[in-house]
Structure 1
Amino acid sequence: MPSAGQKHASEARRRPTMRAVAERAGVSTSTASLVFSGRGPVAAATAERVRAAAADLGFSGPDPLASSLRRGRVGTVAVVVEGPLRYAFRDPFALGVLDGLAEELDAAGRTMLLVAQHPEEPERAVDQLATQAVDAAVFPLCGIADNPLVDHLGARGVPVVGSGAPVDPRVSHVRTDEEAGIALTTRHLLDLGHTRLGHVAMPLSPGVRTATAGLQDVETAGYPDARDRARGFLALAGAHAPVVQTADLTVEAGEEAGRLLLAVPADVRPTAVVCQADLLAAGVMRAAAALGLRVPEDLSVTGFDGVDLPWLDETLTTVVQPGVEKGRALGRLVRRVLDGEQVGDEPFPTSLRVGTTTAAPPG
């Protein structure tokens, strides 16, 4: 049996409630609530009595989480990023998407809860989100096609928005046509007269290393965006065109892939390389320079995303999909879902920007 002192200490640690304030002030709970909300007429003397009671009890105001739950909203949107969060903050395209998404959600009075999901242990994110109250979830940077978070969020009735993945009818997407996008640069090179094209892909599946990839790797890929870009390239360049998939989305990985493609005899070496990301293209250009190849005189290189790379000496020929605007589009879709609209997939346009890294093949 707890002593009177122990009971008092326990009550002191407990957060005071609006009801306790109302009882201390001698008013109804609804009247006390009106004082704190400022949304109704309350006599000045009564309001002062309520504030004095709150001060005596150490009551600072209504519990925002409890209030949000009563309204059916907590004001928080989960933003799921695959891999360590630091990787997203090093990728200029990812930064643009997150920036645009944050702008739109902030305008709606909502906050972002960033959730890192390990690509090889995606189920760990389920445990992380299980303790969080969220109104919606966004997968802004694509990711794995089959994600265990969808079942978890679906069971909770949390709407989900993505940018191509997870692949599930319960997810509404702002969708880039990846095959058509990569076709813009591939066709550009073919029109310039190139017949030997190589391809540097983002990771096709979780846990891969930088290495050559075949048709089987493409067709069984776990990442829909990388798979579809590779499909779009091969459809135009030919099924036997060399493909190298990278271990991650960095300049260093692009350089390693570039060496695999280019450190071969000149008569079989590609005269043009189509890359799935601008950072990978920058790495291929670094590998070309190390091998004594000039861009674009000896080798043409293209990217994807259209990000600003001020440290690159050349203007990259690339597929432009503005990251900030894509993030805004995702944010607008989230807002519509939370407003109760029935939404479907929305297309996101791409365009070709011809820079100084492509030219006719040598000779």
Structure 2
Amino acid sequence: MNSRRATIADVAREAGVSPSTASVVFSGKTPVSDATRARVLDAAAALGYTGPDPLAASLRRGRSGIVGVLQRGPLGIAFTDPVQRTTMDGLADAVASVDASLLLLRPVPGGPAGDSGTAPGPATGAATLATVPLDAAVLIGTIPEAAADVAALRARGVPVVVIEGDAGEGVPRIGLDNHDAERCLAEHVRRLGHTDVAIVTLRSELNVTHDRLGGARDVFPDAPAFATLASSIDEGLRVGRQVFAAGRPTAVLAQSDLLAAGVIRAAEEAGLSVPGDVSVAGFDGVPVDGLAPYELTTMVQPAVEKGRAAGAAVVAMLLGEQPASVTFTSVFRAGNTTGPVPESRGVSPR
């Protein structure tokens, strides 16, 4: 039995056309008549030919067509978290201009390089930054262990871009004004007269967590911080219960809108009205299902623009250019979840 994979030449011979004509039917780069297209596709179906060999195509181009995205934590965050999802949409749109697609990767615990993702985990053969053919890589945030990822990529000559992190000299950064934006929210709350404030933070290892915490503590240096495990309404509810069990702050600064929505549920569960008894502010400016009649006071970040900027940086590096780092600015949006401190608890707003 002949198991040889059919080639475009076989399809051309079967359809009675030249190999170049058969090729453009699959590439779509040159118009062909409907009759010719039908003959070629019928011949391909008869031979079991599904399209050009991607490996051969990548060898001809000198590129794999793959941009790796290092996503720390569960890969599902890229699909379930509204900020990550929107950022990935922008990134995918931008790299499509060079016919590239995204491949989600994460560190492989227990590998020889520790948690860096630079080697396959034992007995798994998992695809990692060290083994996957990549044209470029985008890191979503960085932690100290990411240095090994960056070193491995740069040793391979793979261009690297980082979103909301710092991967060292020569790595373009796509940043957000997390510190200043969170300080803006905190100052808004202080102007309303609040002094007894709690902070509900994102996962402790994320760069943005520390940036936003620093911004809040510029205004409320002694505010207690309550850490969550993920940006979700359920986590906001769980930690919100801890906040209200520990005391009765008049305001809560949550580091994401999803967390803020959960904190509001926890406040209602504790018999507190929002914003009458407790003000709640979020961060991100994303739609949150089921939040009505509330509209969060929040900072609206340009998530899709972050992704597009990262993609534009990737494209520039693939063309041999060195893109500049970019920092985006969030916009304050006043909602109905913050109000003056209750008269019985504080001072009059300034």
Output the TM-score relative to the length of structure 2: 0.79
Q: How does 1:27-42 map to 2 (within 5 A)?
A: none
SS in 2 for 1:326: helix
Deviation, structure 1 residue 62: 5.6
Conserved 8 A contact 2:202-2:228: yes
* Alignment CA distance shift 1:88-1:35 (3 Å): closer
* Alignment CA distance shift 1:61-1:246 (3 Å): closer
Provide the rounded CA distance (Å) in 2 between the counterparts of 1:89 and 1:100.
13
Q: Does 1:277 align with 2:260?
A: no
> 295, 304, 318: which one pairs with 2:283?
304
Provide the rounded CA distance (Å) in 2 between the counterparts of 1:351 and 1:96.
17
Conserved 8 A contact 1:82-1:118: no
Matched residues, number? 314
Provide the rounded CA distance (Å) in 1 between the counterparts of 2:64 and 2:255.
38
Tell me, which stretches of 5 or more residues in structure 1 are unaligned? 1-8, 25-31, 41-53, 206-222
Tell me, which stretches of 5 or more residues in structure 2 are unaligned? 31-43, 121-126, 344-350
Q: Does 1:101 align with 2:91?
A: yes
SS in 2 for 1:337: helix
SS in 1 for 2:332: strand
Deviation, structure 1 residue 35: 6.4
Matched-pair identity in %: 41
Q: How does 1:88-167 map to 2 (within 5 A)?
A: 88-117=78-107, 122-124=115-117, 126-127=119-120, 128-129=127-128, 130-140=130-140, 142-147=141-146, 148-165=148-165, 167=167
Provide the rounded CA distance (Å) in 1 between the counterparts of 2:175 and 2:77.
22
The one-letter amino acid of 1:79's match is: V
The one-letter amino acid of 1:111's match is: S
Deviation, structure 1 residue 228: 1.2
Conserved 8 A contact 1:115-1:125: no
Spell out, residue by residue over 1:232-272, the C-alpha distance to the aligned partner (whole angstroms, 9 max, x if none): 1111112x21111112222122122222222245xxx3211
| Aligned residue number for residue 316 of structure 1 | 296
| Aligned residue number for residue 333 of structure 2 | 353
Provide the rounded CA distance (Å) in 2 between the counterparts of 1:295 and 1:303.
13
* Alignment CA distance shift 1:118-1:200 (3 Å): farther
Task: Let me know the Cα RMSD of the aligned residues.
Answer: 3.3
Conserved 8 A contact 1:126-1:149: no
The one-letter amino acid of 2:196's match is: R
Q: Does 1:295 align with 2:278?
A: no
Provide the rounded CA distance (Å) in 2 between the counterparts of 1:35 and 1:360.
72
| Bigger mean CA offset, 320-329 vs 153-162 | 320-329
- Work out which of the two has the higher radius of gyration on C-alpha atoms and give 1 or 2: 1
Conserved 8 A contact 2:166-2:173: no
Deviation, structure 1 residue 321: 0.5
Output the TM-score relative to the length of structure 1: 0.76
